A and B are shown apart, each in its own frame.
Chain A
């Protein structure tokens, strides 16, 4: 069966993360939540450590801790804190605590690299099910709430006046973010999840006239990066997660170069 091929499973896993992370990443970019994504992703390593310690599913552990982190950050935002400092503190201390927690566990130290940088080639069939389950759930959330999310992104007062509660929409994004983090750990690892959110969206921006178009192009770019990165890492013998991000970064450079070159002289 074709799913027995580890490369095919890796490709499917990469595509699963791409289709969920890219459109969510658009909102992360539009709403300037990049650090927010970082904090959530970095916190997930603590979830991994806890899950391994209590012999639970790594997905569940990462999801729960990512969700707690995302909700905390979400609650703190808009209360007049210096958000970038606070997020920087939380992102990196969560990572540090996670790493320390992992070191207490016997016999998993070797696995740490797999969670920091991902281990897409080791994706199993049950992993695939979880990745695609999570991805479809995230896509469903985004499509279902799309208009409300977009209105709330433009301005919270605009949303309130239309009977939309921007806090609820923020919660939808928070939930989606935790889901993406949980499913992306295996593929790109906690250190590079934010890259899969932000880079495809940023690469799509110069080619887009509407939000929908930007989301679709971001998905295409993310898929291209996943497949291209997998291919490149196979032939160059490089770590797969970082290679995927490198391909995305190259596409970002290309599309932005294209914008600079195609800009009409003033």
Chain B
């Protein structure tokens, strides 16, 4: 069953076309990961899916009554806004205290309900964010680089939790991630984005696609090597994709 579908979607920021001709569908229960260099339109695509930006062209169709759980890349809570972890879970809809405590326990944070969000560590904060997104029992969980700023064990634990959640709720998961080694092991499908969809498919298929290699480097050393070199390689490639990279910035 298709939860969300885009057809020929173009997204523009002012005069810049950030994304063009995006056709994608997300089906119930699958884990789909979007990879791509900075400025490739990953976050724009997620924002179009949740309805925060309107595509300049094309359509985004959500299944009727679709419940989306969304975990943004960062969430800045103004220091003037007092917010306990338990209160945060009751947004946008209120829930019974027992349910909130249960959710915190499942998130592995049983003792933190009265703690201010501002006082949580990065990992705790993201787990509370995930717990909040799950309160509505979403059909589709959307995560935008949710493990940014977490250390290796922290992000590994976070992805284990997502796998658990998918198993328990049967929801689809759509995430943007830079951690290619995790992506490759945890995703059913990978979408490689760079101003348009360069290639997509099962992780092992995508890794060997020329479009993917053009962006993330070559070699069969596996995603882990690519991940390690992420900071010092640039995106020179042999232009197997016929698009303008400047436009994607």
Contacts and interface: CB of A to CB of B under 8 A. Distances in A.
Given A148-B92, A154-B77, A161 B114 contact: no
Contact of A154 (B50, B75, B116): B75
Interface in B67-87: 68-70, 72, 75-78, 80-84, 87
A159 B72 CA distance: 11
B82 A210 contact: yes
A41 B202 CA distance: 59
Describe A's contact surface by its main secondary structure. helix
A33 to B, nearest CB: 11
A78 interface: no
Given A151-B92, A209-B114, A161 B84 contact: no
A155 B72 contact: yes
A157 B70 contact: yes
Interface residues of A, number: 29
A6 interface: no
Interface in A144-201: 147-148, 150-151, 153-164, 201
A255 to B, nearest CB: 13
B166 interface: no
Given A148-B92, A150-B91, A32 B52 contact: no
Contact of B82 (A148, A164, A202, A205): A205
A30 B80 contact: yes
Contact of A214 (B51, B82, B92, B93): B82
Residue among B51, B70, B92, B94 facing the most chain A CB atoms (10 A cut-off):
B92
A209 B78 contact: no
Contacts of A52: none
A211 interface: yes
